[in-house]
Amino acid sequence: MMRLTPISNLMARPSFLPPFMFGLLFATFGVILSAKYSSITVDQSALLALKSHITHDPHNFLATNWSTSTSVCSWIGVTCGSRHHRVTALNLSSMDLTGTISSQLGNLSFLASLDIHQNSFHGTLPIELTNLRRMKYLDFDNNSFSGELSSTLGNLSKLERLSLDWNQISGRIPNSLFKCKELKFLSLFNNSLEGSIPTEIGNLTLLETLDLGDNYFKGEIPLVIGNLTSLQFLYLSNNNLTGEIPLVIGNLTSLRELYLNNNKLTGEIPLVIENLTSLQFLHLSNNKLTGEIPLVIGNLTSLRELYLFNNKLTGEIPLVIGNLTSLQFLYLSNNNLTGEIPLVIGNLTSLRELYLNNNKLTGEIPIVIGNLTSLQFLYLSHNKLTGEIPLVIGNLTSLRELYLAYNKLTGKIPSTIGNLTTLEVIDLAYNNLSGEIPLVIGNLASLQMLYLFNNRLTGEIPLVIGNLTSLQVLSLDSNKLTGRIPTPPPLLQFYAVSTNNLIGEIPSSICNLTSLGAMALHENNLEGTIPKCIGNLSSSLTAVFLGNNNFHGQIPENFAKGCMLRSLHINNNELGGSLPRSLGNCKALNLLDVGNNNLNDTFPSWLGNLDQLQVLILRSNRFYGQIESFDITVSLTKLRIIDLSHNNFSGYLPTLFFEHMHAIRDEYGKKVEPNYMREVKIMKDAHLFWVNYAYGLSVTAKGLEMKFESLLSIWMQIDLSSNQFRGEIPKILGELHLLIVLNLSHNCLVGPIPSSLGNLSELESLDLSSNKLEGRIPTELINLGFLEVLNLSQNNLKGPIPQGKQFDTFTNDSYMGNLDLYGLPLSKNCGTDEETPAIFDRDDDGDELNWKFSILMGYGCGLVLGMSMAYIVFTTGKPWWLIRIVERVRRRFAKR
């Protein structure tokens, strides 16, 4: 039986309760204090482990602050909760830290926010981070993390933001991520993720921002994207997405920004886009979209940016574009748009950038363009615009870049252009502009690039251009400008005034242009000597074009070590003396053209040191001597065009020289992708301009003078014609398999045409005329399937002309002067002698009768004899060979 103690008895012993209660309270407090201290120690250990993984802390943020002598909660970047005093947030962003992430960071069990963006962390993300069940905010942007995303990401059930932009994460997005249904922000921009966009993404119905841009996703945009009705920002740009823009995109009525640019999307812009009335940014550029710009685009009155460039859009610019009065950026360039620029464009008074270039727009530039006073960039080039440049262009006082090139504009350059004092670029090239360059051009103190080439401008180059102290590119070539070259602006990098009617000498002030990279003064009437300072400028100069003038004297001899010259054109002048050996300092030289001068020198053997040389033109000078003993120090392995024609070279053809021309042989040439001999120059403010190193290069090929505006690296040519070379054609020429033009004409070559020339499978022109070649034409030449021009005339060739393929296209001119050749196309056939026919005296009637009687008798006897022989043959079946011939002929006619 249980015994109950009366309460009165307990009350009778009051001394027992206070010690008991105090002990219980002390024990409870001790447990709590111990647990708290233990938890703080865990957080401290986790953070110190992270600190130990940091190898570079340039600002000593952690080195001096994260110390065990102070509370964790006071450390820089650390936030603790007020209740438990545990670490709840860690922000180390933009501290320039380098290192890896410690796995012990997964022990911060109260951590809800981790922000380490804008550092240099690398390695893989530890899987232990997915143990942080309270985590809501993860930002790892702008680091160098690699590896794949963990398959346990779904453990972070409270995650609202995940940002991993600008890292090196690879693989596929794990399906477990889509269990994080609280996600509102998911950004994996600029990684190396691949595969298709998972359909499970439709589960993230709370998403407001989705950025998967700049990865390697492929396939179509999944239809479940239409489930994400809370989306405000959708970025799928710079992937390999295909198919059409899905109609469900119209469900995303909260969308403010839509970026689908730089993919391979096809089809038309869907009409459902009219539902996206909150849209402010629409980027669909660099796809393969077709059809017209839909009229419903006019409903998107909140649009600030509309980017549709680099597609295949057709039709006219819709008038509803005038409704988009909030537009600041309108990019419709590089499509197939037609019609005129609509007048409603004048409504878009907030426009800052207007790009309509590279279309098929016609008509005049509308006067309403003058309303766009906020415009900074106006690109209308590469269209079919006509008329004059409107005077109202002077209203655009905020304009920085004006591109009207490659149109059909006429009239004068308006003087109102002088109002545009913020202009940095003017490009009016390739139009039909006339008149003089206006003096107000001198007002444009910010001008960096001025392109007026290929017009009909007259008058002199204004002296005020020399005052444009910011000008770096001046291109006035291919006009009708006269007078002398004025003092150029001091910072000029590219100076082109070629193909005009300029006179006088090159001004000495050009020697002050220490930044000059390219100078084109060719095709004028300039005279005098070439300034010696050209050699001193070679540390910056990469291209010099002085050809087709009247320069005399000698080529400057002071090209210094470190010379950067890549292209030197001084052809078609009156220069004498020798080729300066100091050019050997220009190790990067690609092209040297000194043709059509009066240079008197032996072959410049020191050119063998220029291992980048691709084009060498020495034609029509007074070079002399032998080159077969040419000592190749480095060897011209990249040489692919050599023209030594019309000189006085002698001796044997240089076999060793041909042996080292690896650029024209398979083992080098076919490994190199075709490219143009040009280079893009990047200036301040990221402006670009091309230097075309082979511009204006002239060669003789296929009997014609060919002038190149740009030269592909696949053009291979050897021209040694009109010299005094002797001996036989070396067989090694047949190993130059990529050769297109070979001209050895007008020399003293002897011996046979080597059959190895039949290996030149790319050859289009072969000229061996006016030598002393002998023997037969090799039948191997029939293999030259691209041979368009053949000249073997004026030699001592004999035998039959090969028949078939390209040889069936050549005329008598290819073989003239070879008396012992026969066969088509020559009228002389094998075994026929051009004997003088018998002459009959038609006045002698008796002889005429005897002649006719003799012929009749001959025919008669022949007929009787032939019929008799035929009867014997077919009745006896002998001789068998004759029977076979007759039977074969009979069958052939029976088939017909």
pLDDT, tens digit (0-9, with 9 covering 90-100), for 120-165: 999 999 999 999 999 999 999 999 999 999 999 999 999 999 999 9
**Residue 24: C-alpha distances to residues 16, 400, 620 (Å):** 13, 81, 114
Asked, for residue 734, whether it belongs to a domain, the answer is yes
Mean per-residue pLDDT, 592-612? 91
Asked, for residue 530, whether it belongs to a domain, the answer is no
Q: Supply the pLDDT for residue 720.
A: 97
Asked, for residue 386, whether it belongs to a domain, the answer is no
Mean per-residue pLDDT, 435-448? 96
Asked, for residue 117, whether it belongs to a domain, the answer is no
Looking at the predicted structure, is the pLDDT value of residue 647 above 60?
Answer: yes
- Look up the domain containing 613 and give its range: 581-595+609-822
According to DSSP, the residues that pair with 712 across neighbouring strands are: 676
Asked, for residue 628, whether it belongs to a domain, the answer is yes
Asked, for residue 451, whether it belongs to a domain, the answer is no
Q: Name the pLDDT band for 836 (thresholds 50, 70, 90).
A: very low
Contacts of 346 (CB under 8 A, 6+ apart): 322, 366, 368, 369, 370, 371, 372
Q: Supply the pLDDT for residue 686.
A: 52
Looking at the predicted structure, is the pLDDT value of residue 382 above 80?
Answer: yes
CATH number at residue 645: 3.80.10.10
Q: Supply the pLDDT for residue 533.
A: 87
Local structure of residue 299 (DSSP, 8 states): G
Number of other CB atoms surrounding residue 798 within 10 Å:
14
Q: Name the pLDDT band for 826 (thresholds 50, 70, 90).
A: confident
Q: Supply the pLDDT for residue 33.
A: 40
Q: Are 603 and 649 in contact (CB under 8 A)?
A: yes
470-499 pLDDT, tens digit per residue, is: 999 999 999 999 999 999 999 999 999 999
Q: Which helix (H) or strand (E) holds 864?
A: helix 845-876
Q: Supply the pLDDT for residue 34.
A: 43
DSSP line for 344-367: GGGG-TT-SEEE--SS--BSBPPG
Asked, for residue 740, whether it belongs to a domain, the answer is yes
Asked, for residue 338, whether it belongs to a domain, the answer is no
The number of C-alpha atoms within 13 Å of 526 and in the hemisphere containing its C-beta is 28
Residue with tokens 């036989």: 728
Q: Supply the pLDDT for residue 888.
A: 38
The number of C-alpha atoms within 13 Å of 153 and in the hemisphere containing its C-beta is 22
Q: Supply the pLDDT for residue 608.
A: 81
Q: Give the integer Cα–Cα distance in Å for 773 and 795.
A: 5
| 393-407, 422-436, 668-682, range with the lowest pLDDT | 668-682
Domain count, the chain: 1
Looking at the predicted structure, is the pLDDT value of residue 867 above 60?
Answer: no
Q: Name the pLDDT band for 795 (thresholds 50, 70, 90).
A: very high
For residue 434 the two structure tokens come to 């006339």
Q: Name the pLDDT band for 414 (thresholds 50, 70, 90).
A: very high
Mean per-residue pLDDT, 554-560? 90
Work out the mean pLDDT of the chain and round it to a whole number: 87
Mean per-residue pLDDT, 296-316? 98
For residue 478 the two structure tokens come to 């291919």
Pairwise pLDDT comparison (98 vs 828), residue with the higher score:
98
Q: Supply the pLDDT for residue 689.
A: 60
Q: What is the C-alpha end-to-end distance of the chain, expressed in Å?
A: 134
Q: Give the integer Cα–Cα distance in Å for 448 and 685.
A: 10
- pTM comes to 0.83
Mean per-residue pLDDT, 611-618? 93
Contacts of 131 (CB under 8 A, 6+ apart): 106, 109, 155
Q: Supply the pLDDT for residue 683.
A: 57
Q: Supply the pLDDT for residue 153.
A: 92
Q: Give the integer Cα–Cα distance in Å for 775 and 798.
A: 6
Pairing assessment for the beta strands 425-427 and 401-403 based on DSSP bridges: parallel
* Angle, helix 880-895 to helix 845-876, in steps of 10 degrees: 100
